[in-house]
Amino acid sequence: MENMTDSQYAEIGILRKAAQNKKLDLSDALSEFAGTGIDANKGIMQKYSFRSAMGTIFQGIDLSRSLLLAICQAYGTGDLDPGMGQSGDDGGFLHVRFKQFANDFDAVPIPEAPMSDFEEVKADPQMYKEMQALRLAAEQRILDLTDAFEEYAGTGRDANLGVMPKNRFRAAVGTMFQGIKLRARLLDKICMVYATGDPDPREPGTGQKVLWKQFAFDFDCIPLPSRSEKPDPTPQIIEAMRQMNIYVDRNGIDLEKDFEAYMGNARNDMMPIYQFQRALGVILGSASSLYQLDDRLLEDMCAAYGAGEPLPHRPKYRELVQWREFVRDVNQIQMQPYLEKMKGEVVGLPAHQH
């Protein structure tokens, strides 16, 4: 590939990246199009079959005609193609040494996606805090950002490099975190830090595209909000939890399973305070339910089992609640014979064997 221009060599690198993503062995793929016979055994195929094969193998990738011509010229062999003139300058050979091309192709280094300066994200405390909240939401929803973005990125050169148009990136993030408070300022900052491509004249300082793959990688490295100290409920809270223990036992309510179902089977053991309050009301309440939980006592429970950062205007309370710790304390505060019996019947064993 010595005669390739820098631009053409860069295109080859993009194809290499695409082949890696597809787990594609180019030699084997081209051999399927070469058929059988002496030429195929020598690693040679007709030029037009080679072009067709490359188009099919890299379907959806921006494979330029000029690159195909350059490859056919560099790896051409056999007689000249009369339809291309009397010189080989235009890649006008009738055959292509496809196997040699495939071997050289595998030796081309895979380009790395451009890197962004994640330190700029860390340097903005408010942005970092908001990103942690999104990270927690992704954990609760069992959301893999890279996989999710790939569905929006589509195919082509940009997608293989982990790049997508800024407007599509914004729409993707909004959809992924639907129902989560996502400030426009945060999205603007992300688009600025992970900007690439031509400058956007409508938004000075940003590009028209975003490095979504690099953002997803950095996002996964953000630590979840730190857990607070072990909860220390007051006697009043303990008594309220005792009454809750009796209620859920009599009504066959499995608090832990119901909380997980409310959160979409999330594995995280913390949730935003407003979500915890709403979840508890939904799980314990019904149109015919006589169960009542005093609002003040509920807030005291949230304070006792709080985690994360203090709320800006209510520093006594924190942004998160250790809901799983709360549920376990409720369940363990005293025996729950009816629930234990139910669990024993589910697995076909007497409750005392658990």
70, two tokens = 């350059």
Note the Cα 224 to chain centre separation in Å: 16
| The CATH number, out of the four listed (3.40.50, 1.10.238, 1.10.1740, 3.30.70), of the domain defined by the range 6-106 | 1.10.238
Region 47-65: mean pLDDT is 84
For residue 103, the model assigns a pLDDT of: 94
Most confident of 32-46, 224-238, 259-273, 310-324: 32-46
At 113, the amino acid letter reads A
For residue 59, the model assigns a pLDDT of: 76
For residue 348, the model assigns a pLDDT of: 47
- Has residue 248 got a pLDDT over 50? yes
**Predicted confidence (pLDDT) per residue in 196-218, tens digit:** 888 888 887 778 898 898 888 88
22, two tokens = 């597809």
Q: What does DSSP assign to residue 174?
A: H
Distance CA 311, CA 274 (A): 11
Among 166-170, 235-239, 247-251, 306-310, where is mean pLDDT lowest?
306-310
For residue 95, the model assigns a pLDDT of: 92
Q: Which of 296, 284, 234 is nearest to 259 (CA)?
A: 284
Q: Is the dihedral of CA 154, 160, 162, 165 positive or negative?
A: negative
**Predicted confidence (pLDDT) per residue in 162-191, tens digit:** 889 999 999 999 998 887 778 888 888 888
Q: At 241, is the pLDDT very low, low, confident or very high (cuts 50, 70, 90)?
A: very high
Distance CA 16, CA 142 (A): 31
Q: Which of 98, 75, 102, 99 is nearest to 19 (CA)?
A: 102
Region 82-107: mean pLDDT is 77
Among 78-92, 256-270, 340-354, where is mean pLDDT lowest?
340-354
- Which residues have C-beta within 8 Å of that of residue 333, sequence separation ≥ 6? 238, 241, 242, 245
| 46 phi, psi to nearest 5 deg | -65, 145
Region 297-305: mean pLDDT is 91
Residue 316 CA: distances (Å) to CA of 45, 229, 308: 75, 14, 12
Query: Quick count: other Cβ atoms within 10 Å of Cβ 12?
Result: 19
**Predicted confidence (pLDDT) per residue in 135-161, tens digit:** 877 876 778 888 889 888 888 778 877
The structure tokens 């949730």 sit at 271
pTM score of the predicted model = 0.45
Q: At 301, is the pLDDT very low, low, confident or very high (cuts 50, 70, 90)?
A: very high
Q: At 285, is the pLDDT very low, low, confident or very high (cuts 50, 70, 90)?
A: confident
Distance CA 186, CA 178 (A): 15
Q: Which of 251, 274, 275 is nearest to 263 (CA)?
A: 275
For residue 2, the model assigns a pLDDT of: 66
Distance CA 168, CA 165 (A): 5
Give me the chain's average pLDDT, please.
Answer: 81
Distance CA 254, CA 61 (A): 51
- Strand pairing class (45-46; 93-96): antiparallel
For residue 346, the model assigns a pLDDT of: 47
- Has residue 36 got a pLDDT over 70? yes
The structure tokens 């309510």 sit at 253
- Domain coordinates in residue numbering, the chain: 6-106, 119-220, 235-353
Per the model's pLDDT, the better-predicted residue between 280 and 142 turns out to be 280
Q: At 349, is the pLDDT very low, low, confident or very high (cuts 50, 70, 90)?
A: very low
- Cβ 33 vs Cβ 53: under 8 Å: yes
Distance CA 284, CA 333 (A): 18
189, two tokens = 């900052």
For residue 353, the model assigns a pLDDT of: 43
Cα-based angle 118, 224, 276 (whole degrees, multiple of 5): 135
